[in-house]
Amino acid sequence: MSRIYFGTDGIRGKVGQAPLTVDFVLRLASAAARALAPQGGSVLIGKDTRLSGYMFEAALEAGFVAAGLDVRLIGPLPTPGIAFMTRHFGCRFGVVISASHNPYYDNGIKFFDAEGGKLSDEAEERIEAELEKPPTTRESRALGRASRVDKTRKAYQDFCISTLPPGITLEGMKIVIDCAHGAGYKVAPRILTDLGAEIVPIGCSPNGRNINDGCGSTAPHLLQLTVPGVKAQVGIALDGDGDRLVMVDHLGRKVDGDQLLFVIATARHAAGTLQGPVVGTLMSNYGLERALRERGIEFHRAAVGDRYVLAKLRETGGVLGGETSGHLLTLDHATTGDAMVAALQVLAVMRSTGASLAELTSALPLLAQHSVNVKVARRFDPYAVPRVSDAVSEMSRALEGRGRLVLRASGTELLIRVMVELEDAEEAKQHAEQLARIVRDVAAEVK
């Protein structure tokens, strides 16, 4: 069956509009209990700092307890922390209430299985099938119990610290940490402080409405000003649910996911500890692919989305991958993208080599990218249109060895995305605009 509610990263939408309503979330909890834990057990619920998180937390708690599951409520904690704590507690599954990097008026529900991994398509389909039934309410003696386990967050902090190589601390480092007023606002500063760093926190005062608002990994402008302003060595920016990472060097320059992946991969390769190929996405900069291959590091591309990066890593036996946006996977440490774990890997390279982040990224010359989004009236496969596919083939031949182009239909919007990469920014723009015009003309003819 095709899924109606689950997208590439759980269920997400605007609060108060279907499906993000209290009655739906109550039914979702009951459906998930029947589909994922028919024999009972416990479930962990965590969230970010959105105002609506409180009501959805209450709805999930009611649905799970009524269905006979014991509920552990851990409060605000990064999404990867929920994955870790689900395993730590031995829960049947875990739930995260978050819309990641979206504004506060959105929210979402994500699930993890007992191993801390994202649910399979089949598991999500089982939940959706159960949504057709009314919520379950067991008799009193069969009801579950709910308890708060906020203080157990330290187990996740200790886990993050344990991912550093033996003997590495952050003593003497001054670090600016921007938590996007989100789920990491408590644990992220504590992790850095416990490692001996002097921290300057920003984006650590959530009020329920300011999550991701002009701060965090999607808006690191204040971080870029603050790092050189306070003479810090480095800045760290998380997104609202703490699974996306962007860093800033001591000069105030943004360091994206491609650059961070390069730093970690090359350090591991030099140490002989890199396992399997590195995996990026269709949107990963061609400069990353070229730089890794020049160093003898195999590189693969997956479809856009961290779940596809994860699938490709499992397929190829790799453990390191990620997206330009900052979703970085280190599968030898965590089952899902974890911004703090990834940040600690980069900080460890800085400490062990004595190099600044600016120096570590200087060896990666990124190509200029020019992107054009072509609006369409309805979705269609651009490669199925000969005029477009012929233009793509001709342009690809012209770019061979110098750059590349990406043409893909958006999975969430009525858009065809065109992106061209070349060392010459003006030439990249010309090629992208040329292909976009062809796609736009074809789109106007598609009925």
Q: In the Cβ-directed half-sphere of 75, how many Cα atoms lie within 13 Å?
A: 12
Classify strands 146-148 and 70-76 as parallel, antiparallel or unpaired: parallel
Of the residues 52, 98, 100, 217, which is catalytic? 100
100 catalytic residue (yes or no): yes
Residue of 167, 154, 188 whose CA lies nearest to 340? 188
Q: Which two tokens stand for residue 55?
A: 């009501």
Residue with tokens 């699938």: 311
How far is residue 319's CA from residue 321's CA, in Å, rounded to a whole number? 7
Percentages (nearest 5) of helix, strand, coil residues in the chain: 40, 20, 40
146-149's contacts with Cβ under 8 Å and 24+ in sequence apart are: 146/61, 146/65, 146/70, 146/71, 146/72, 146/73, 147/70, 147/71, 147/72, 147/73, 148/72, 148/73, 148/74, 148/75, 149/44, 149/72, 149/73, 149/74, 149/89
What phi-psi label fits residue 92: left (phi over 0), alpha (psi between -120 and 50 degrees) or beta?
A: alpha
Antiparallel, parallel or unpaired: β 93-97 and 106-113: antiparallel
How many angstroms separate the CA atoms of 416 and 407, rounded? 7
Round to whole Å and give the CA distance between 59 and 62. Answer: 5
| Cα 224 to Cα 26, 138, 205, 233, 253, distances in angstroms | 42, 54, 19, 12, 6
In a 3-state reduction of DSSP, which class is residue 348? helix
The DSSP bridge pattern shows strands 415-422 and 368-375 to be antiparallel
Which H or E element spans position 430?
A: helix 425-445
Active site residues: 100
